[in-house]
Chains A and B, each alone.
Chain A
Amino acid sequence: MKLARILPLFSVAFAIAYALAVEYNLAVFTYHPQLRQFAFGVERPKAGPAMYWYGWIVTSVALALLVSAIALILPRSWVARVRVWSGLSWLIPAAVMVFFVYLLKGYFLR
């Protein structure tokens, strides 16, 4: 199950990619819910709010898939170090959650 072995790596890459996508607003597309319109890339709000969340998810999935695909062509021994990924697979996402708490602290500390 060579493919299965990269799943922990995918989770780690996804968490990091999502944090970067949100921090730097790297949305593949923007959704304008009031107009029910999709637009490629990041667009400013038109009528009503602009939603980037869907675009951030697509960006993160694409980046995580890319990292996973690269891992598949790397030497087997490197990807096979599941013990390393087993620790990082929860540690990195947990750290990203803490990062979001920090990012959004303004809502709670006023």
Chain B
Amino acid sequence: MITTLLIIHGLMAVALLGALTHQSLSMWWPATKRAGSFLSAARAVSSSSYTNAIIVLFLITATLGGIIYPAYRLNIRVILQDYRLLVPEGSFELKEHFVTIGAGLLPAYWYFWRRPLSPDWAGTRAALTTILALIVWWAFLVGHVLNNIRGFGS
């Protein structure tokens, strides 16, 4: 059961990572017209269309993470402590706090990304999206590395 939830958690995280990266790219480095290259296509998306999907994906991914969190505390964290793997353990502690702060940011994120977009709040939107993108990238990489340390299904 935990393994299934972990896989779904990972898949949701990938979708969230993609959506937030798209939104960040199109916001910081917008393409004026859609050219043929992969990168310009990634930059040419309508950034505001990702907002609701990002909020839903963030909440689903964080909730799934919260459900499987006790398994980490019982089976993985003790191994990290036994082997004195302080950096991975601390990285996960940061992930836990960053994701919580990210979840708390979602109401403001939704508010400032509401349509019609106000040009006055472009800077705020950029800052909020960047913070959320950093949080999600950090959470994804730390989760991936920790999964590799412990070994899948072990």
* Residues of A that sit less than 8 Å from B by CB: 4-5, 7-8, 10-12, 14-15, 18, 22, 31, 33-34, 48-49, 51, 53-54, 56-57, 60, 64, 83, 85-87, 89-91, 93-94, 96-97, 100-101, 104, 106-108, 110
* Residues of B that sit less than 8 Å from A by CB: 66, 69-71, 73-74, 77, 86-87, 89-91, 93-94, 96-98, 100-101, 104-112, 114, 120-121, 124, 127-128, 131, 135
- Determine the distance from Cα of A90 to Cα of B81 in the docked complex, in whole angstroms: 34
- Determine the distance from Cα of A12 to Cα of B131 in the docked complex, in whole angstroms: 14
- Most chain B beta-carbon contacts within 10 A, residue among A4, A5, A54, A90: A90
- Most chain A beta-carbon contacts within 10 A, residue among B89, B96, B112: B112
Q: Are A34 and B100 in contact (CB under 8 A)?
A: no
| Option from B94, B105, B114, B121 in Cβ contact (under 8 Å) with A93 | B105
Q: A11-B105, A48-B74, A100-B94 in contact; A83/B120 too (CB < 8 A)? A: yes
- Most chain A beta-carbon contacts within 10 A, residue among B66, B70, B87: B70
Q: A33-B70, A51-B69 in contact; A4/B104 too (CB < 8 A)? A: no
Q: Are A93 and B131 in contact (CB under 8 A)?
A: yes
| Option from B90, B112, B135 in Cβ contact (under 8 Å) with A8 | B112
Q: Are B97 and A22 in contact (CB under 8 A)?
A: yes
Tell me what chain B mostly uses at the interface: helix, strand, loop, or mixed: helix
| Option from A7, A89, A96, A101 in Cβ contact (under 8 Å) with B124 | A89
Tell me what chain A mostly uses at the interface: helix, strand, loop, or mixed: helix
- Determine the distance from Cα of A110 to Cα of B84 in the docked complex, in whole angstroms: 11
- Determine the distance from Cα of A107 to Cα of B101 in the docked complex, in whole angstroms: 20
- Determine the distance from Cα of A87 to Cα of B135 in the docked complex, in whole angstroms: 19
Q: Are B121 and A86 in contact (CB under 8 A)?
A: yes
- Other than A97-B97, A108-B87, give 4 A-B pairs with Cβ distance below 8 A: A48-B74, A60-B100, A94-B131, A108-B86
Chain B residue nearest in CB terms to A5: B111
Q: Are A33 and B104 in contact (CB under 8 A)?
A: no
- Determine the distance from Cα of A20 to Cα of B120 in the docked complex, in whole angstroms: 32
- Determine the distance from Cα of A18 to Cα of B105 in the docked complex, in whole angstroms: 12
